[in-house]
Structure 1
Amino acid sequence: MRLFLVRHGETVDNVAGVAGVRDSELTNHGVKQATRLGEFFRKNDTRFSHIFSSQLQRAYKTAECIRRAQATSRGGEKARQPLEVRRVPLLVEQDLGFYEGKKFFERPRVGNKSGKEAHRDRHKNDSGFVDVESKESMAQRADTFLDQHLIPLLHSDTEVTQLVAIVTHGIFLTVLWRRLLLRLPSKRVSFAPAIAWATDAVSLEHLGGWSNTGYLELELVKSAATPEGAEAASRFQPSDIVAPDTDFQTLKSATGDEPLPAPPEPEVPEVISKVAYDVSTVPLTSFRNLVGWSLVIHKINSRDHVQGLKRTGGGVGSAKYDESQKTIESFFKRKTVN
């Protein structure tokens, strides 16, 4: 399997400096980014067998740009099989609760506590209090997606290499990557030679963030399971790798084009999310189901497809994309005469 973990294109909320599960629309620039990505995959003959996205329109419309570009081959020949984007609610971004729609400066640190922690202490007993979705809740969603959608594809009988794109959100992509990494023997994860020279200071858990339409390209290959590999897998515990604590700096980076900073050391937080999830109750065997597989990291936050792409001036590029609005290029296209 070749696996592409993709972040959606730029949104109105990205420009405004807010994040969360609000169904923010793509900007005009965001649509250009997504269109460029779809064309890039098509020109490089990356023909997907499966495309997944969250149900939020920014992820789905980015995924649709990838799908539409694959509808025809370079020679105009119709694709061999119809391809649909599967919208999976499990892939949604972190729910920021009280902080949904609020700018970063509205959650300042108070002493040694993050804005989130300080707000929770002040208001956790208030009627209607809504907390930020916990690390454990996001980890549960990522694990469920892997179990229900991705792992079954790896264990299918097909001998054809499957190409899978998962289009989702900046914070959740970090969680999804770490939960996938947790299932692999540590000695069977490596960097491709083309990028190995640049990864000396990069840890597997902290690859960094995703820019808008940036993607992580992975290759999963079935190999013979060895006692050494099984032993390596057994060293992992479900709580070893968890989602990053979503503080001010993490949110700021996840919604812009800056790399995400390394998260703090994992802790065991109070479970008060909408979906309670105790990682200690998860059977360890569920995290060993990729023993015998090897993973190679080919690209990290790849943005080759947007090289040279410039934002349209006058505020147009940052404005909400309107499908009914004609672009200036359309006025110069020659009409087809039958």
Structure 2
Amino acid sequence: MRLFLIRHGETVDNVAQLYAGSRDSELTNHGFQQATRLGRHLNVTGHRFSHVFSSHLQRAFRTAELILEAQASTVSTNDERLQVKRLPLLMEQDFGFFEGKKWYQKPPGGAKSGKEAHRDENVNTPGFVDMETKESMAERMDAFLDEHLIPLLDDRPLDDKRSVAIVSHGIILSVLWRRLLARLPPKSVTPSVQVLETSRSFQLEHLGGWSNTGYLELSLQKQPSPPPQNEVKDDSSTSLEVGLAKTDELPEEIPPRVATTRILHEWTTVIETVNGKSHLQGFKRTGGGVGSAKYDAGQKTLDTFFKRRRIS
């Protein structure tokens, strides 16, 4: 089975450099085209999705819809149209007081991150609401795994070649990956040769950020004779290094949550693609502010706009 963790297309808040979080920021024209190209790319490379999950926020949901629209264009009309499963669990980190405000740069020479410095400056402001905690995000992703993804894995036949997509947001996708990694047995996760050849050093817990419509592609293989499944304690602080180093751009570490969770003993995983962006090769933003503007389905396409009327 192939599992794709996909970030949404570019949004109005991305362009304005605002903290979006739980705000329902809309796709730009550029973001809409990014998602359209991603859908076509996944379709022509032979991926057929049996399930697509997305955040309930429209930037992720619309990206997921465009992926399915591309798939629907080549499947039999007799097949039932697959629907996106829209889940609030998959929403981005709630930035509280900072939502809708400009990104805050890291102070020069300081040990604090930009967010930490910004928080310290505003924590006593009337009406201040703090950001969602790392523990809260980890609990949400554990709930998604237990309620949606792991039951789906249990139902998979050994020869199932279909794919599953999770379309969400940059920070929460990083949390989801680390919570999934904590469920996989040690030494059962390996990077592909292509990933090793194209990536700089990293840790499995820190594969890097997600670009708009960038994706993490995983190949999960179920073993024919799984050992008995035991309930074990999850200590996600265990390092699973593959000779790579952290970068300053990565999200802050999430503290380990020790809990009784199921380890997926019967599965092995290969990391096929990290922040996949091949669908964006040669793709440029439309100038004149058009690409950065909010996408409007009622607008004419550029081809239609510049096309001359036929003279009868």
For residues 334 and 204 of structure 1, the distance between their equivalents in structure 2, rounded to whole angstroms, comes to: 55
RMSD value, Cα: 3.0
Contact 1:90 1:142 in 2 (8 A): yes
For residues 99 and 9 of structure 2, the distance between their equivalents in structure 1, rounded to whole angstroms, comes to: 19
Structure with the higher fraction of residues in strand conformation: 2
1:188-267 alignment runs, 5 A limit: 188-199=188-199, 201-223=201-223, 224-225=225-226, 237-238=235-236, 261-264=249-252
1:26-175 alignment runs, 5 A limit: 26-73=27-74, 77-78=76-77, 80-105=79-104, 112-118=111-117, 120=119, 128-156=127-155, 158-159=157-158, 160-175=160-175
Q: Which of 265, 270, 280 is the aligned partner of 1:306?
A: 280
**CA deviation profile, 1:238-279 (whole Å, cap 9, x unmatched):** 4558xxxxxxxxxxxxxxxxx9724455558xxxxxxxxxx3
From the superposition, tell whether residues 267 and 6 of structure 1 become closer, same or farther in structure 2 (CA, over 3 Å).
closer
Structure with the higher fraction of residues in helix conformation: 1
From the superposition, tell whether residues 196 and 225 of structure 1 become closer, same or farther in structure 2 (CA, over 3 Å).
farther
1:113: how far off? 3.9
For residues 121 and 86 of structure 1, the distance between their equivalents in structure 2, rounded to whole angstroms, comes to: 38
TM-score by length of 2: 0.85
1:47: how far off? 1.1
For residues 104 and 279 of structure 2, the distance between their equivalents in structure 1, rounded to whole angstroms, comes to: 32
1:46: how far off? 1.1
Contact 1:182 1:287 in 2 (8 A): no
Contact 1:8 1:212 in 2 (8 A): yes
User: Where in structure 1 are there 5+ consecutive unaligned residues?
Assistant: 242-258, 269-278
Letter in 1 for 2:301: T
From the superposition, tell whether residues 9 and 120 of structure 1 become closer, same or farther in structure 2 (CA, over 3 Å).
closer
**CA deviation profile, 1:194-242 (whole Å, cap 9, x unmatched):** 3232346121111101111011110111124569x99xx968504558x
Deviates more, 1:118-127 or 1:85-94: 118-127
Letter in 2 for 1:71: A
Q: Which of 300, 305, 312 is the aligned partner of 1:326?
A: 300
Corresponding residue for 1:2? 2
Q: Secondary structure at the residue paired with 1:186?
A: coil
Contact 1:9 1:30 in 2 (8 A): yes
1:104: how far off? 1.6
Q: Secondary structure at the residue paired with 2:303?
A: helix
For residues 137 and 179 of structure 2, the distance between their equivalents in structure 1, rounded to whole angstroms, comes to: 10
Number of residue pairs matched?
299
* Identity between Structure 1 and Structure 2 (%): 55
TM-score by length of 1: 0.79
From the superposition, tell whether residues 154 and 137 of structure 1 become closer, same or farther in structure 2 (CA, over 3 Å).
same
Tell me, yes or no, if structure 1 residue 316 matches structure 2 residue 304: no
